[in-house]
């Protein structure tokens, strides 16, 4: 049996993380996967939202076989189906029992469009949040009245915020895929987290510490050229950025190395800096230099300040390795 699935977000902004769970789950189950845009409620649509959702899915590596398909483009098909089972009420809306199919202006509602499109595109399975359970019952009833066999609905747990309520775009520091991107979480970490969650049987809390651990792993695993490209830094700096907790921190690390703050160090730092200059001029690599300076009780904090203008940052040996010899010696002279 060929499994056909779909994901149908509303164009109200960036992709919600709860929606991302559903999108990933439908993609995993589906041999064929449709990206459908539920734009039946025109007033709720946010300009540019479809493009943002597409960008979010692409960033996560969730592809589709057809779409993005706007439901609004199939309104006539929806109206045609509604007329076979609906009856008009006093306000001019077309209804099926208590369920509105067409609004008084003739525009199709969510339930009607969803049922008709699932049938026409031969969707076999729909994975979505447990808050859709009541919708599933209504849609099964409507589908059978229209002569369609409804897809199999699979409901997963919801993603909760710190307050134990459904994760909301209002008041949450992180609630959307776009938020993760802005926080510097690599796409590989976000997708790994979604795959770990799978189709949770119960509600789960968003685990930001876990996401950050996955981000560290993802940054460590990136090829040097890829890491440098994402940070916007020369590839020579990639090794120094491996310890970053996210891409934003990696960018800050790169900036510290590329554009250090000027410092003036006290005389006590001179022996360490002069010894560094000797070792660097003799061609020793970063690890050898740090090892030599540690052996003689060198002031490594002063050396870091001289090279980067900061007290903390990437591994010192990696900073030394990233800097051309002449540039490193120039910074030492300037600090002295």
Bridge partners for 69 per DSSP? 36
Locate tokens 């008084």: which residue? 104
Q: State the pLDDT at residue 336.
A: 85
In the chain, CATH 3.40.50.620 sits at 4-159
- pLDDT tens digits for range 197-256: 999 999 999 999 999 999 999 999 999 999 999 999 999 999 999 989 999 999 999 999
Topology of domain 4-159 in CATH is Rossmann fold (3.40.50)
- pLDDT tens digits for range 86-121: 999 999 999 999 999 999 999 999 999 999 999 999
Question: Could you tell me the pTM of the whole model?
Answer: 0.90
Q: What percent of the chain has pLDDT over 70?
A: 99
Bridge partners for 4 per DSSP? 32
Is the N-terminal amide bond of 166 cis, ω within 30° of 0? Answer: no
Question: Does residue 238 contact residue 314 with C-beta atoms inside 8 Å?
Answer: no
In this prediction, residues 37-51 reach a mean pLDDT of 95
């Amino acid at each position: 049996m060929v499994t056909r699935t779909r994901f149908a977000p509303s164009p109200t902004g960036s992709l919600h993380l709860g929606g991302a769970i559903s999108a990933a789950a439908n993609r995993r189950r589906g041999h064929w996967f449709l990206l459908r845009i539920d734009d039946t409620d025109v007033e709720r649509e946010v300009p540019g939202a479809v493009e943002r959702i597409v960008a979010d899915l692409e960033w996560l590596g969730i592809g589709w076989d057809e779409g993005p398909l706007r439901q609004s483009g199939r309104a006539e098909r929806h109206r045609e189906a509604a007329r076979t089972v609906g009856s008009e009420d006093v306000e001019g809306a077309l209804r099926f029992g208590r369920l509105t199919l067409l609004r008084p202006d003739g525009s199709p509602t969510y339930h009607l469009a969803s049922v008709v499109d699932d049938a026409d595109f031969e969707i076999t399975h729909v994975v979505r949040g447990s808050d859709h359970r009541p919708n599933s019952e209504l849609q099964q009833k409507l589908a059978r009245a229209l002569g369609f066999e409804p897809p199999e609905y699979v409901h997963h747990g919801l993603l909760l915020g710190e307050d134990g309520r459904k994760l909301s775009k209002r008041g949450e520091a992180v609630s959307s895929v776009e938020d993760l991107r802005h926080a510097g979480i690599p796409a590989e970490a976000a997708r790994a987290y979604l795959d770990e969650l799978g189709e949770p049987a119960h509600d789960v809390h968003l685990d930001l510490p876990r996401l950050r651990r996955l981000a560290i792993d993802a940054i460590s695993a990136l090829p040097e050229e890829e890491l440098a490209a994402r940070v916007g830094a020369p590839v020579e700096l990639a090794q120094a950025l491996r310890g970053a907790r996210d891409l934003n921190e990696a960018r800050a690390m790169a900036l510290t190395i590329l554009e250090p703050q000027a410092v003036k160090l006290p005389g006590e730092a001179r022996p360490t800096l002069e010894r560094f200059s000797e070792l660097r001029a003799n061609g020793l690599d970063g690890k050898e230099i740090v090892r030599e300076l540690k052996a003689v009780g060198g002031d490594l904090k002063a050396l870091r300040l001289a090279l980067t203008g900061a007290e903390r940052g990437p591994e010192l040996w990696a900073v030394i390795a990233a800097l051309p010899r002449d540039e490193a010696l120039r910074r030492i002279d300037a600090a002295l």
